A and B are shown apart, each in its own frame.
Chain A
Amino acid sequence: MMRRPRLDLRDQPLAGGQPLAFGIGLAVALFVGTLLLLGAGHDPLKIYSRMFEASLGDPDAWAVTLNRAVPLGLAGLAVAVAGSMGLWNIGAEGQIMAGAITASWVARIGGEWPGLILITAMLIAALGGGGLLALGPAVAKAKLGVNEIITTLMLNEVAIRLVQWLIHGPWKDPDAYNFPLAPMLPEQAHLPTLFSRAHGGILIAIGVIVISSVAVKYTAWGYELRIAGSSEATARYSGISLPQKILMVLVLSGGIAGLAGGVELTGTADRLTETLSNGFGFAGIIVAALALMRPSGVAVVAVLFGAVQIGGQSIQTLGVSSSVSTILQAFVLFGAIGAGVLSRYRILFEGETHATPEAVDK
């Protein structure tokens, strides 16, 4: 007779469980990808080596991968900051757009300003734009208890349409032959490059991630945040004002996502477009989840995930449909989600107990 399996919570998560989970996700993706590539008549080995070459093979490849990791990491950080308090910010995609809108607006009025001042003003505006879009959901959650998952999700669709409206209407470039395009950014509004095509946004992202990680992990503010995230009751007994914390954290989270939009605009884009974000906000949720909602973990995950994305794009020149890379990403995610669960649980079969020899020894 077959015994039914069940999940049993481990006393402690497996050591190194999360890197292992990501590795397993990657392995699953490679396996499924091999099947897909063989099915489409490609040579998997050739495709995979091309993916690696194009994403991590040389400094030029690293530059592109790191540039991609910037919006992924900042969006991931935005989600993780909210997540350390148990809140879900699903609106990073829209907040990135909002940040790009306000940064573009600054570029429109400050076209003659010197570069350093213009870029700084644009990035501050981006921070504010993202925070502003998160303000509604933040107030609704803090004051009325409205589920932030849905409010932030809905505002994504609103923000993307706002960009469409701007570039089809008020911000349409009169010199673009009637194409719905926003005007090009001023020349001095572009972030300086570090090496190859890698831009200064990488330093900004690292800085913001380090500051946020330290703030969440080592300050009283961050401690209160994590307490509020683990237990509402405990937080209330220790005198932490939950509504105030919720408000602050969600607006901050939106601001960080907005900053991602500003950096992406000044770093890699020529102008505001409706595809500026291109799913970075949703990918940020995945990055944060793979980093177990720890701000300190998002940087590494963002670089790995960026490499998967850039590698996936590169194989289109070999005639592989871009959908293969999308599917690979999805399998990395599901593989990692599954492995992440199993690093916290173990499978036991009916009749077995969770008592392990080590546990008995204690």
Chain B
Amino acid sequence: MSEASLIGLFVATVSFGALLYLAALGELLAEKAGILNLGVEGMMAIGAVTAFIAGVELKNPWAALVIAMVSGAALASVHGFFTVALGAEQVVSGLSLTILGLGLAAYLGKDYVGQPPGAELVPVQWSGLSDLPWVGPIIFKQAPIVYFALLMGIAVSLVLANTRLGLALRAAGESASSTDSAGHSVLGLRLGAVAAGGALAGASGAYLTLSITPQWAEGLTAGRGWIAVALVIFGAWRPGRVAWGALLFGGTLALKTRLQTFGVDFSPIILSMLPYILTLLILLVISVRSRKRPSPAPAGLGFAYRREER
């Protein structure tokens, strides 16, 4: 195992980690407000395809990123409308959103399959820092969206923990009726959280087509949206822990294609089961411990809220 290939593994780990982190942060926001959104896979696909199309047409990667985030938020708002405004079943609406997102992405992107990218987000050079051994390539020579993911993680943590908005949002996820009594709009908070979550999932998808695999094909998201859903639980609904989980799960994605080059005789398919199995184990640990301390899951997660419910 050469040094270069080991560095390559870590570079890819951080890169995949950021991809998963963006989508998981979005899911975390929605779940903190009490809305389970199982449409992550669909929102990522929409982000990926709109970013690619915008890149080809506008030749500007930043405009492409913004368009992907707006598209992700717009698609998420469909889920928001049905679950928050109408109080429909979140599970059913979320799964329908995945179907809608994957279908729309395939429809929009059918003329762009196999085309060369019009714009890419290339790795940033941090003058001297990028040339450092090991940390240079691994941390200081990543695509700009990796740093964006980090910034978003810090921002989400700070907003949730230290602002009135964050407090209100968490309250909407814990106890909607008391949040309502306190004079906050549960409807507005939840719709906003779901849309913001969609924007982050869209950014995650954009990272795929603007940087990781700069082209569009159906099925490009390859189930990574489900890993993002798992990550939120794995990280116990905390942005910091989710970040470490994202690196771990990103590591399994990075290792999957490299097992053979490392001469390890282990099935990459079995390795790709790991994130899900780890999440199941963590769930068990959480629930065994929650006999002594409260579960980290938002208490109102999954429940619709209506005023004057009879």
Contacts and interface: CB of A to CB of B under 8 A. Distances in A.
A300 interface: no
Given A144-B284, A285-B91, A157 B273 contact: yes
A147 B279 CA distance: 12
A46 B110 CA distance: 22
Contacts of A62: none
Contacts of A161: 269-270, 272-273
Nearest to A342: B86
Contact of A285 (B92, B106, B233, B279): B92
Given A157-B276, A165-B267, A9 B310 contact: yes
Interface residues of B, number: 50
B86 A330 contact: no
A90 B287 contact: no
Give the size category of A's interface with B: 35 or more
B276 A150 contact: no
A7 B86 CA distance: 8
Interface string A74-86: 0000000000000
A326 B106 contact: yes
A146 B287 contact: yes
Interface in A315-362: 321-327, 329-331, 333-334, 337-338, 340-342
A326 B87 contact: no
B49 to A, nearest CB: 11
B175 interface: no
User: Max chain B CB contacts within 10 Å: which of A162, A282, A337, A340?
Assistant: A337
A143 B128 CA distance: 56
Contacts of A88: 91
Nearest to B100: A330
Contacts of B100: 327, 330-331, 333-334
A322 B229 contact: no
**Residues of A contacting B: mostly:** helix
Interface string B67-107: 00000000000100010001111011101111110111111
A59 B99 CA distance: 30
B241 interface: no
B306 to A, nearest CB: 6
B226 to A, nearest CB: 6
B198 to A, nearest CB: 16
B99 A164 contact: no
Contacts of B110: 321, 323
B293 to A, nearest CB: 14
B297 A147 contact: yes
A337 B297 contact: no
Contact of B86 (A136, A158, A341): A341
Contacts of A155: 276, 280
Interface in B215-245: 218, 223, 226, 229-230, 233
A174 interface: no
Interface string B195-213: 0000000000000000000
Contacts of A36: 107
Contacts of A146: 283-284, 287
B95 A323 contact: no
B307 interface: yes
Interface in A134-187: 136, 140, 144-147, 149-151, 153-158, 161-162, 164-165, 168-169
B269 A144 contact: no
User: Max chain A CB contacts within 10 Å: which of B96, B297, B307?
Assistant: B96
Given A158-B276, A338-B88, A341-B87, A282 B95 contact: yes
Given A161-B270, A169-B267, 11 more contacts: A90-B91, A140-B283, A150-B233, A151-B283, A161-B269, A285-B92, A327-B104, A327-B107, A337-B88, A338-B82, A338-B86
28 contacts: A6-B307, A7-B87, A8-B308, A9-B310, A90-B91, A144-B288, A145-B287, A146-B284, A147-B283, A150-B230, A150-B233, A154-B276, A154-B277, A156-B226, A157-B226, A165-B270, A168-B267, A282-B95, A285-B95, A289-B89, A321-B110, A324-B103, A327-B104, A327-B107, A333-B99, A337-B88, A337-B96, A338-B82
